[in-house]
Amino acid sequence: MKRNLFILTTIFSFLLLLTACGGKEEPTPTPEPVGNAVKGEQLYKQFAIGSANAPGCMTCHSLEADVVLVGPSHAQIGADAGSRVAGLSAEEYLRQSIITPDAVVTEGYTAGVMYQNFGQDLTEEEIDDLVAFLLTRK
């Protein structure tokens, strides 16, 4: 009888341990979005931005599909950015495109046309805000 009680207690303890340990994986937390998309949209739509009053994004990029000003349209950039460069997330690609615009040049466009100093002229917060806004363009 004592042996049966010991076996039952052991099995019960083992089952409790399995239940406590899960069996389910904890969901991976969704990363907090970087930047403020509302501020990013406001910045995007300014004619001059940054400490050097560089041309604003809307000077050269449209938010309408298939409308090309100087650079490619940003109508779907939030949906497309993650597939542009293998190994770069959408956020990483957009950040790189702002800070180092000639790192990846969209086919059909010329290197060196985009203003090259946004990485120095914009604050980290402004870059974060622009990235957050561009990620909403889907």
Return the closest-CA partner of residue 122 out of 67, 49, 34.
49
Q: Can you say whether residue 61 is alpha, beta or left, with left for phi > 0 and alpha for psi between -120 and 50 degrees? A: beta
For residues 55 and 132, give the distance between their C-alpha atoms in angstroms, rounded to a whole number.
Answer: 19
Strand, helix or coil for residue 6: helix
For residues 50 and 5, give the distance between their C-alpha atoms in angstroms, rounded to a whole number.
Answer: 75
Between 22 and 112, whose confidence is greater? Answer: 112
**pLDDT interval class at 8 (50, 70, 90):** very low
pLDDT digits (tens, 9 = 90+) for 44-87: 999 999 999 999 999 999 999 999 999 999 999 999 999 999 99
Sorted by where each begins, the domain ranges of the chain are 37-135
Tell me if 79 sits within 8 A of 137, measured CB to CB: yes
For residues 102 and 111, give the distance between their C-alpha atoms in angstroms, rounded to a whole number.
Answer: 6
The superfamily (CATH) of domain 37-135 is Cytochrome c-like domain (1.10.760.10)
CA dihedral over 108, 81, 133, 113, signed as positive or negative: negative
Strand, helix or coil for residue 65: coil
Looking at residue 89, the DSSP 8-state letter turns out to be: -
Mean pLDDT (the chain, rounded)? 86
**pLDDT interval class at 98 (50, 70, 90):** very high
